[in-house]
Amino acid sequence: SKATGNLAQDAWFAALAIESGCDWITTDRDYARFPGLTWRAPL
């Protein structure tokens, strides 16, 4: 399936963080859907 709207943008940011070896800091729990992404809440 094709990613659209906010999901497409989220996928792009997730891929960027994964490829860069960075943690993604966000309050958006939707990022849990991306395997390989290390993310955490800022608080």
Q: 1-43: per-residue pLDDT in tens?
A: 566 668 899 999 999 999 999 999 999 999 999 999 999 999 8
What φ, ψ does residue 33 adopt, rounded to 5°?
A: -75, -15
Between CA 26 and CA 41 the distance in angstroms is 5
pTM exceeds 0.75 for this model? yes
pLDDT at site 43: 84
Q: What are the boundaries of each domain within the chain?
A: 5-40
33's CB contacts (< 8 A; 6+ apart) are: none
